[in-house]
Structures are given as C-alpha cells and as structure tokens.
Amino acid sequence: MSTVPSGGNRPRSAARSPALTPPADAIAPVRHPDAPAPGELLGSHYAHCFGCGDEQPHGLHLQARAGEGVSITAEFTVRPSHQGAPGLAHGGVLATALDESLGALSWLLRVVAVTGKLETDFVRPVPVDSVLFLAAEATAVSGRKIFCSATGRLGSPEGPLALRADALFVEVKVDHFIDNGRPEEIRAAMADPDQVRRARAFEVNP
C-alpha cells in the first residue's frame, strides 16, 4: 500500500469553487511602493490576534516575512496544544495558519482585507513539533477582490507539501472593524497609538 497520501498531485483549480477563479478582466496584484522590503519581518497587525499576536497566549504566534512581488513566507511550529488527533495537528488550526499567512499579504498591497472564502487541501498529516514553512502569494485582483494562494511544507521551504489553500479576500475599510467589533476591544485598540499606526500601515488612503 502506498504511504503517499492521495491528492498531492491533483491540479489545484480542478476542484476549486468557481468563485476562486479570477474573472477575465482581473489584473495582476501590485506591490505597494512603500511595502516592507523582501526579507523584512512584517510584525503583528493586532497584538491579540489568534494568528500573529504576541500578546495572545493561546495563539499561533506566526511571524511572516515579506517576499518578492506580493508574497510572504512564515513559519509555524505545531505545539501539543494544537492537536486534533493524538500527536497530529488539528485541521482547523492548520487552516488558521494558512488564513493568517494569506492575510499578511495585506501588508504588501497596503489594503485592509478580510477572508471571504478559504478552501484548503490537507495533503499530509502534520505531526506535533513539525515546523510548517508557509508561503502565500496574491495572484489576481478584481475590484475589491483579492485572489490568493498558500502552501505549507514540512520541515523546510522545499519539504513535502502538507497543505495548500486558495482564497478570496475582500477589501474593507477600517470602519468594518469599528462597526462590527465588540466595543471594549475597539475602544482599547483606538486608544493604543501603536495599534493605530499598524492600521494606518495597511491603508493607502487612511
């Protein structure tokens, strides 16, 4: 019996929702001229974010770095608290790591965007203590819609493919959070000059 999980070589687009295929008039994503330089750590967009916040004790503490074009890389170490099955990462946690990596592309586009749709293939089991090497890139833009893809590889950037995702992010105004977030966290964020600075860094026209 083969030990290679099935599905690893399936062409990605064949099984994806039509909504994840950019329309014919979509344009190539444009890296903002003030985007962080390739290799630069992007930092957290919100200290309490479950994906990247350094003040979030339960979080993944993902640290993303700018890549070339509109791409990022990130590393995620799977901890015992991330288990689903014994000794294996929970799929929802892995999807979160992909989602956060894709969200980090906003730093390079300098737009604020949220996940509208995320489709994930779990190609290989991911054991506890694995280091996942994540890579995400924006592939097309159409109006407010940002089409993007990510992969997660085991042990090194060239390691076996464990995860891949395609996603649609939708550009929003900062008001999206002010209007929808719980008032106490919104008040605290708006009173924090460092948080306001981070929010501004996403926006071309704040």
Ligand X SMILES: CCCCCCCCCCCC(=O)SCCNC(=O)CCNC(=O)[C@H](O)C(C)(C)COP(=O)(O)OP(=O)(O)OC[C@H]1O[C@@H](n2cnc3c(N)ncnc32)[C@H](O)[C@@H]1OP(=O)(O)O
CA–CA dist 79, 66 (Å, integer): 25
Min separation Cβ 5 and ligand X, Å: 26
Strand runs (DSSP E) across the chain, as ranges? Answer: 63-66, 71-77, 113-122, 131-142, 145-154, 161-171
50 binds ligand X per the rule CB under 6 A: no
Choice between 112 and 136, CB closer to ligand X: 112
Classify burial at 205, counting beta carbons within 10 Å of its beta carbon; exposed 0-12, middle 13-18, buried 19 or more. exposed
Q: How far is the CB of 117 from ligand X (least distance, A)?
A: 4
Residues 162-188 as b or e (16 or more Cβ within 10 Å = b): bbbbbbbbebbeeeebeeeeeeeeeee
Candidates 2-10, 114-122, 129-137, 149-157 — which segment interacts with ligand X by CB under 6 A? 114-122
Q: How far apart are the first and last CA of the chain?
A: 57
Is residue 165 close enough to count as binding ligand X by CB under 6 A?
no
Least CB distance to ligand X at residue 182 (A): 13
Among 5, 8, 10, 19, binds ligand X (CB under 6 A): 19
115 binds ligand X (CB under 6 A): yes
Residue 168 contacts ligand X per CB under 6 A: yes
**Cα-Cα-Cα-Cα dihedral sign, residues 76, 95, 15, 27:** negative
Among 5, 143, 181, 206, binds ligand X (CB under 6 A): 143
Among 99, 119, 137, 166, binds ligand X (CB under 6 A): 99
CB 74 within 8 A of CB 64: yes
> Which residues bind to ligand X, rule: CB under 6 A?
19, 45-46, 51, 99-100, 103, 112, 114-117, 143-145, 168, 170, 172, 174, 177, 199, 202
